[in-house]
Chains A and B, each alone.
Chain A
Amino acid sequence: MATLLQPEKVLYLVRGEKKIRVPLSQLYFCRYCSELRSLECVSHEVDSHFCPSCLENMPSAEAKLKKNRCANCFDCPCCMHTLSTRATNIPAPLPDDPTKTTMKKAYYLACGFCRWTSRDVGMADKSVASGGWQEPENPHTQRINKLIEYYQQLAQREKLERDRKKLARRRPFMPQAFSQHTIHVVEKYGLGTRLQRQRSGAPISALYGLSLKEGEDQKEITIESAQALDEVEPLPEDYYTRPVNLPEVTTLRQRLLQPDFQPAGASQLHPRHKHLLMKRSLRCRKCEHNLSKPEFNPTSIKFKIQLVAVSYIPEVRIMSIPNLRHLKESQVLLTLTNPVENITHVSLYTCEEGDPDDINSTAKVLVPSKELVLAGKDAAAEYDELAEPQGFQDDPDVVAFRKSNKIGFFIKVIPQREEGDVTVAFKLRHDFRNLAAPIRPTEEGEATSEAIWLTHHVELSLGPLAT
């Protein structure tokens, strides 16, 4: 469907910290600030972790412990598809009577896409369907854990010194008997990490996540420094002459997906546990309201809060493009859809000379000068056979057709360049009724919500000139 609608041809400009041009389907609308927001000007927060194949939910602490991997599901090391467990019957001797054999079930992992099986790397079949598969151990785990502990201690010590210096500078009259315990308490009630991180662009120091738990012993951990060896194992003699067995060589992607081992041969590619995916919620940086909050259940695709731009802002779509010729005026048919339930008034303006937003357009555009009126979206309209005609007076030069909450209208395009794609830009101004406004005591006869006028900068890419 995305290729039929071609949404990337119509871009809306988002005026955030960066000016971003994105199709409307990828934008969010903060109705408290009344502005468009893109993915780059909102803060992302992790809601929950889940496995994409078994859809098992996992709390964040458990996910961190398991290094963000599912306990039950495996990935094919060859094509990264999900592995499925298959069973075969093998004859196995009975434990009581070694001469008789009985059929026992043996399980192995197999990939449905590239037909990789766990027998290819020499993993023996297991007798239990799940839970029998182990990932190979990293030979350097012990050294890495020791290094992490040492640096955790170092980070804690540095933090204490920094705090001590800060407090000592601010309150010089502090009593000398200021215990370490009190310093911990101050830190505990200080700014949380989440609010600190929300300042976009603030760098996160490398040792940020490491901190000793409260009350842990401050024992000294020493590590031996890594030693540089003078002698290196020599290369085998036929290293340059041996022909390469191409199916055995792993691709870079397969190799780097297992950074612990990075095997060069395909017979050492072991399956790894599947990575967890996360559900995220988005929050506007300026007003701290939630823009998108999914449901907690991984099987549900609905949202608790879903403030997407498509349900608030009228959407422009390109319907038909005639042959465009250099310096000749042609008519392009566009459609405008009204997503809200009340009548919307839309007016279009051309960009003025020297508009700082208008950097991409390669053609002049003449937009209809009259205001376009869009009927509200009526969900029951398709069931209503005797729909009354809407009674809008449309200028046939401007409005091509009208259908419930959608109209088709013409714009005139004059390409200015001889080669290249034709891009036009214009401003779209419409009224927006804010239903989220706080309830104020209304006087008699006043409308419940006021309309504010929003202006968006829209760019259309109409494709190449006709030859």
Chain B
Amino acid sequence: MSDSREDVKIAAGAVVCVESDIRGDVTIGARTVVHPKARIIAEAGPIVIGEGNLIEEQALIINSYPENILPDAEDVEPKTMSIGINNVFEVGCVSQALKIGDNNVIESKAEVGRNVILSSGCIVGACCQVNTCEVIQENTVIYGSECLRRVQTERPQPQTLQLDFLMKILPNYHHLKKTVKGNSTPARS
């Protein structure tokens, strides 16, 4: 199975910087911004990223093999990692969760394990590590050094303003990866 860059499908309207490291079978939706030095690595299966996501520098989204299984074992099925819309992966976070819903925020240096399923509106606070095997309820906030939790009444707002700004500014300073179909990069101002 070749991990060639042709397997990366970037929809029209997405802004993906050339300096980002994308390997494997990755699909990126429209209006998603991937900063330079972000890493999206699909080792053990494809990754599908939805629309309107914001993936900042040094964020690591990795679909890796579970630790006790060798990469060459035969009975390992490739599981697809799916990420919904309007999520924010802040600087330096590590996400291995197989299923992420919409409107979630993973703050700086947070780590989300493979067996966690983030539903919608969840916020994993800075430096919090969530390694449990569970579905996190909607609108949960995980914060603090002891990873305390509480439930919000409303989901975090989608970062539309920030996304618009970045989609205008990033092409001025970075080369972008080519998108699959339709117009390539948005018009330069």
Least CB distance, A67 to chain B, in whole angstroms: 28
Cβ of A247 and Cβ of B123 under 8 Å apart?
no
Cβ of A119 and Cβ of B154 under 8 Å apart?
yes
Cβ of B143 and Cβ of A115 under 8 Å apart?
yes
Q: At the interface, yes or no: A78 with Cβ under 8 Å from chain B?
A: yes
Q: At the interface, yes or no: B189 with Cβ under 8 Å from chain A?
A: no
Cβ of A247 and Cβ of B143 under 8 Å apart?
no
Q: At the interface, yes or no: B113 with Cβ under 8 Å from chain A?
A: no
User: Which of chain B's residues 48-64 have a Cβ closer than 8 Å to chain A?
Assistant: none
Cβ of A120 and Cβ of B153 under 8 Å apart?
yes
B141 contacts across to A, CB distance below 8 A? 114-115
Q: At the interface, yes or no: A113 with Cβ under 8 Å from chain B?
A: yes
Q: At the interface, yes or no: B171 with Cβ under 8 Å from chain A?
A: no
Q: Which residues of B contact A (CB under 8 A)?
A: 123, 125, 137, 140-141, 143-144, 148-154, 156
Cβ of A115 and Cβ of B156 under 8 Å apart?
yes
Cβ of B150 and Cβ of A266 under 8 Å apart?
yes
A266 contacts across to B, CB distance below 8 A? 150
User: Which of chain A's residues 103-145 have a Cβ closer than 8 Å to chain B?
Assistant: 113-117, 119-120
Q: At the interface, yes or no: A79 with Cβ under 8 Å from chain B?
A: yes
Cβ of B150 and Cβ of A114 under 8 Å apart?
yes
B123 contacts across to A, CB distance below 8 A? 115
Residue of B nearest to A267 (CB): B153
For the complex with contacts A114-B141, A117-B152, A119-B154, 19 further pairs of A-B residues with Cβ separation under 8 Å are A79-B143, A79-B144, A79-B148, A113-B125, A113-B143, A114-B125, A114-B143, A114-B148, A114-B150, A115-B141, A115-B143, A115-B152, A116-B150, A116-B152, A117-B153, A117-B154, A120-B153, A247-B137, A248-B151
Cβ of A119 and Cβ of B150 under 8 Å apart?
no
Residue of B nearest to A88 (CB): B157
Least CB distance, A221 to chain B, in whole angstroms: 45
Range for the number of chain A residues in contact with chain B: 10 to 19
Digit string of A61-86 for contact with B (CB within 8 Å is 1, else 0)? Answer: 00000000000000000110000000
Given contacts A115-B123, A115-B141, contact A247 B153 (CB under 8 A): no
Contact of A247 among B125, B149, B154, B156 (CB under 8 A): B149
Residue of B nearest to A266 (CB): B150
Least CB distance, B173 to chain A, in whole angstroms: 29
Shortest Cβ-Cβ A-B pairs, 3 listed: A247-B151, A114-B143, A120-B153
Cβ of A120 and Cβ of B143 under 8 Å apart?
no
Least CB distance, B148 to chain A, in whole angstroms: 8
Cβ of A119 and Cβ of B144 under 8 Å apart?
no
Contact of B153 among A78, A113, A114, A119 (CB under 8 A): A119
A247 contacts across to B, CB distance below 8 A? 137, 140, 149-151
- Bound form: Cα–Cα A165–B161 in Å: 78
- Bound form: Cα–Cα A198–B148 in Å: 44
Cβ of B144 and Cβ of A114 under 8 Å apart?
yes
Residue of B nearest to A114 (CB): B143
Contact of A78 among B137, B150, B156 (CB under 8 A): B150
- Bound form: Cα–Cα A116–B123 in Å: 12
A119 contacts across to B, CB distance below 8 A? 153-154
B125 contacts across to A, CB distance below 8 A? 113-114
Residue of B nearest to A248 (CB): B151
- Bound form: Cα–Cα A371–B7 in Å: 77
Digit string of A194-228 for contact with B (CB within 8 Å is 1, else 0)? Answer: 00000000000000000000000000000000000
10 contacts between A and B (CB under 8 A): A78-B150, A79-B144, A113-B125, A114-B150, A115-B141, A115-B152, A116-B152, A117-B154, A120-B152, A247-B151
